[in-house]
Chains A and B, each alone.
Chain A
Amino acid sequence: MLLSTLFLALRSIRRNLLRSFLTILGIVIGVSAVITMVTLGNGATLAVQMQISSLGTNLLMVRPGQRQGPGGPGGGAPSFKEADADAILSQIGGVAAVAPEARAGATVIGNGRNWSTSVTGSNDTWFVTGNWKLASGREFTDEETQSGAAVCIVGETVRREIYGGTRGLGEQLRIKQFSCEVIGVLASKGQGAMGNDQDDTVLVPLRTLQRRVTGNLRVNSLLVSMQDGSDSTRLKAALRDLLRERRKLAAGDDDNFNILDTQQLADTLSGTTKVMTTLLGAVAAVSLLVGGIGIMNIMLVSVTERTREIGLRLAIGALEREVLMQFLIEAVTLAALGGLIGIGIATVASFALAKVMGVPYLFDPTINMLSFVFSACIGVVFGYFPARRAARMDPIEALRHE
C-alpha cells in the first residue's frame, strides 16, 4: 500500500509539473543557500588556518610598540637590536630559532625593469621561523651573513616582475644605490592572513640592509620559533621579562613592545569565520522554513482544486488514512525532491563560488544529509494540515464541488 501510495504521489506530481516545481522552489532555494553558506564558510575557515600556518607554526612575532596592527612597528617605541635575538636564543629555554628582521621599502631595478617592493634584512634562521623554502638557488653562507655581502634572494612576485620567464639566478639586482647578485628564489607562499602578497619581497642579509639601505642598526621585529611541545604561556612570560630587562623598563612602566602568537591569531580568526558561517547558515535555514510554508500554501490550494478527485477516491473506497498518506507522501516527496535539487545547485554554486573567492572547496556530508532530512521533515510538518483537510472531506460534498 505504501508503495502504491508513493506511486500515486509521484503520478500527481508529474501531472502538475510546473506547479510542483513552483511548490518546491522555496525548499530548493533554502537548501542550496544553507549548504552553500556552510560549505563556503568551512572553506574560508580552512583558508584562514592555512594562511596563518604559512606564517610559520609555533611562531611568536615580537614588535616594538604597545599594540600591534597589521602594519609596521608602532611609532615612538625603540626598535630592537640584533643582540636581542641572540639573547633570546641563549637565555630562554624551548626556543628553536630566532630571526631578527628589518624591512625597508625600495624600488629594485634589474633586467631593464623596476619594481617597488619591500626589502627584508635577516639571516638564514628566517627560513626556519617563517617556514620559507627555496624554489631554486641557495641560502646565505655564514660568511655572507657576517660580512653583509651584496647577495639577495628574491620572492616569486619580484622574480616574475623583473625576470619574467627566467629564473633570475646569477643576475644583478639594484636596490637603491647598490647592486647585489641574485643567489636564490623563494618558493611561493601566496596571500598572507591579512590579504598581503607574501611573495613580494627581496631578502638580503640583515647587515647588508642595515649598512646599504637603511643606514642604521635597527631591527623591526624578532621572529621567535618555539620548539614543538613547549609551553607557549611560560615562554611568552620569560620572553617578556627578558625584553623588559634588556629595554630597561622600570617595574611600573608599560611594555613598549608586543608579542603576537600566531596560534592565538589562528584561533581568533577561524573562530570569527566559524561564527559567521553559523550565522549565515541560520539565516539561510529561515528561508528553508519559508519554503515549508510555501509547500503548505500550495498544497492547500491543490487540495481545494482537487476536491472532486478526493471525493471520487473516497467514494470508490479510499480510507481516510490512505488519502492522508497520499497527500502527506506527496508533500514529503515534493520537499525531498526540492532538497535533492537544492543539494545539486549548492554543489555547483559552492564549487564555483569557492573558485571565485579563492577558498578551498570542502564537501561537507553532514550538512548535505542534514539539509535533505530537514527538508523531508518540512514536507511532513507542512504537508500534514492540507493532507488532513483532504482526508476528512465528506465524499458527497466533495463530489458536488464545482
Chain B
Amino acid sequence: MSEALIRLRGVTKKYGTGQAELMALKGIDLDVAAGEFVAIMGPSGSGKSTAMNILGCLDTPTAGQYLFHGAHVEALSRDQRARLRRRYLGFVFQGFNLLARTSAQENVELPLLYRGESATVRHAAASRALQSVGLGGWEHHTPGELSGGQQQRVAIARAIVTEPAVVLADEPTGNLDTQRSEEIMELLRALNVDHGITVLMVTHEHDMAAYARRVVHFVDGRIESDVPNPHPAAPRAPAVPAQVQAP
C-alpha cells in the first residue's frame, strides 16, 4: 500500500466553535490505491460528505494529513487545490448540478474550458464523453429536456471528460429510481473496470454498494469497518448501449 493514491492520516474536521462546536470527523485513516472502487456507507450525519469534501480537495481537514499523489493537500492554497481538482478529479453530485438552459454538450465541455482547451478539442472530447455514457445524439438537449437518469449521465460525462484519476460521487443515485440507479452504477463500474479510474462513492443503498470492490462504513465521524467485496455485482444486462467507449 506504499504507493497509495490517497492517504488520510488522523484527519479530523471540526465545525463551529464553543457551544456549537461539532466534530464531524474524529480521526480518519484511509488508504486508497489507484484503480479501486470504494463505496462509503453509514448513517446520515456520520461524516460521509465531510470526508468526501476533504477527499475531493474542496475542503481541508482541521487536523491530520491528506496526501494525494504524494502532495500534502492540507497545506495547499485555495487556488492550488483548484488546480489539483481540475487536473485529477471528477465530481458527480446527488443533485446533478448541470447548468440550466445550457446544452448537454456545453455542460460537458465546461471543465475543459478551465483547462484552456481549444474549441475543437473541447467539442470532440465532450462528444466522446457523451457517447460513452450512452447519450450520443442528445448533445443539444438542455437539462430541462432530459430525464433525471439522463441528467446524471451528462454529469458523469462532465466528470470524465478531463480523463481524471479519481471520480468522486456523493450519493449519485440518491435522486433516481432503482432502474436509473443501476444504469448509473453500471457506468461507474465500467469507468473503474475498463478505464482504471479510481471511484469513491457515497451511498445509502446496499444494492449500489454491491457494485464496489470495497465498502467503508462510517459511524459518528469514525470508520467502523472497511471490508473488501470479493464479488462485486456483475452487469445483468447491458443497461447502457453495447460498447462503452473510452472518453
Q: Which residue of B lies closest to A311 (CB)?
A: B97
Question: A166 in the interface, Cβ–Cβ < 8 Å?
Answer: no
Question: A318 in the interface, Cβ–Cβ < 8 Å?
Answer: yes
Q: Which chain A residues (28-71) contact chain B, with CB distance < 8 Å?
A: none
CB distance A317 to B86 under 8 Å?
Answer: yes
CB distance B83 to A319 under 8 Å?
Answer: yes
Q: How far is the CA of A395 from the CA of B82 in the complex (A)?
A: 10
CB distance A313 to B110 under 8 Å?
Answer: yes
Which residues of B have CB within 8 Å of A322?
114
Q: How far is the CA of A15 from the CA of B79 in the complex (A)?
A: 28
Q: Which residue of B lies closest to A15 (CB)?
A: B101
CB distance A396 to B78 under 8 Å?
Answer: no
Q: How far is the CA of A313 from the CA of B78 in the complex (A)?
A: 14
Q: Which chain B residues (34-81) contact chain A, with CB distance < 8 Å?
A: 53, 56, 58-59, 78-79
Q: How far is the CA of A1 from the CA of B86 in the complex (A)?
A: 15
Q: How far is the CA of A350 from the CA of B78 in the complex (A)?
A: 52
Q: How far is the CA of A72 from the CA of B59 in the complex (A)?
A: 88
CB distance A317 to B114 under 8 Å?
Answer: yes
Which residues of A have CB within 8 Å of B83?
317, 319
Q: How far is the CA of A315 from the CA of B114 in the complex (A)?
A: 11
Question: B87 in the interface, Cβ–Cβ < 8 Å?
Answer: yes
Q: Which residue of A lies closest to B91 (CB)?
A: A315
Q: Which residue of A lies closest to B84 (CB)?
A: A317
Q: How far is the CA of A399 from the CA of B91 in the complex (A)?
A: 12
CB distance A308 to B116 under 8 Å?
Answer: no
If A316-B85, A316-B91, A317-B86 touch, whether A399 touches B97 (CB-CB below 8 Å) is yes
Number of interface residues of B (CB under 8 A): 26
CB distance A314 to B116 under 8 Å?
Answer: no
Task: Point out the residue from A316, A319, A320, A396 that lies within 8 Å of B110, measured CB to CB.
Answer: A316
Determine how close the nearest CB of chain A comes to the CB of B153; give it in whole angstroms.
17
Question: A309 in the interface, Cβ–Cβ < 8 Å?
Answer: yes
Q: Which chain A residues (300-336) contact chain B, with CB distance < 8 Å?
A: 308-309, 311-322
Known: A11-B106, A314-B82, A316-B158. 5 other contacts (CB 8 A): A315-B85, A316-B111, A317-B82, A317-B87, A319-B83
Q: Which 4 A-B pairs have the closest CB atoms?
A: A317-B86, A317-B85, A316-B111, A312-B97
Q: Which residues of B approach A to under 8 Å, CB–CB?
A: 53, 56, 58-59, 78-79, 82-83, 85-87, 89, 91, 93, 97, 99, 101-102, 106, 110-111, 113-116, 158
Can you sample 24 A-B contacts with CB below 8 Å?
A: A8-B113, A15-B102, A308-B97, A312-B97, A313-B110, A316-B85, A316-B86, A316-B114, A317-B87, A317-B89, A317-B115, A318-B82, A318-B86, A318-B114, A319-B79, A319-B82, A320-B79, A320-B82, A322-B114, A395-B58, A396-B53, A396-B59, A399-B93, A399-B97
